[in-house]
Amino acid sequence: MADRVIKESTVTSEPLSEISAEAERLFWRLVVKADDFGLYYGNPRILASMCFPLDPPKEQRIRAWLDELVAAGMVGTYTAGEDGKQYLQLLLWDKRQKRRAKEGQFPLPDSFDSTCNHVKEGGGLE
């Protein structure tokens, strides 16, 4: 995956202040793992092994952390129509990262299975 730039304004992000330290840790690992479109696997079992390879948490913990990220408007989850698998998208990705690739490594969402209502109102990581 490409190197990422983290803006200084992240430390005053209200959505980050609303989530647990564990959910924030998952978020930053997703930032590192996501493709240039902010897309990544959404299956909690895969996330546990890919984001925490040295000490994978239980699937239920990953689900709870994902729920926090969704509720904070930072992540949307979806099931891809083309393969029926679970994926996620880091929301507002294009405002914070440069897209270098022409195509994503994962299917783009047609719609989200779960997002927070304030995402549509400009929520997400500031």
Q: In total, how many domains does the chain have?
A: 1
Task: Determine, yes or no, domain membership for 25.
Answer: yes
Task: Determine, yes or no, domain membership for 10.
Answer: no
What's phi and psi for 32, nearest 5 deg? -70, -35
- CATH of residue 87: 1.10.10
Residue 8: per-residue pLDDT: 76
Task: List pLDDT tens digits, range 58-111.
Answer: 999 999 999 999 999 999 999 998 899 999 999 877 666 555 656 766 677 777
Task: Determine, yes or no, domain membership for 2.
Answer: no
Task: Determine, yes or no, domain membership for 62.
Answer: yes
Taking residues 116-124, report their average pLDDT: 41
Task: Determine, yes or no, domain membership for 1.
Answer: no
Residue 69: per-residue pLDDT: 95
CB 79 within 8 A of CB 8: no
Q: Which residues contact 83 (CB under 8 A, 6 or more apart)?
A: 107
Residue 105: per-residue pLDDT: 65
What's the pTM? 0.77
Task: Determine, yes or no, domain membership for 84.
Answer: yes
What's phi and psi for 79, nearest 5 deg? -110, 125
Task: Determine, yes or no, domain membership for 33.
Answer: yes
Residue 119: per-residue pLDDT: 40
Task: List pLDDT tens digits, range 2-49.
Answer: 677 777 777 778 888 899 999 999 999 999 999 988 999 999 999 999
Task: Determine, yes or no, domain membership for 34.
Answer: yes
- Structural domain that includes position 33: 20-119
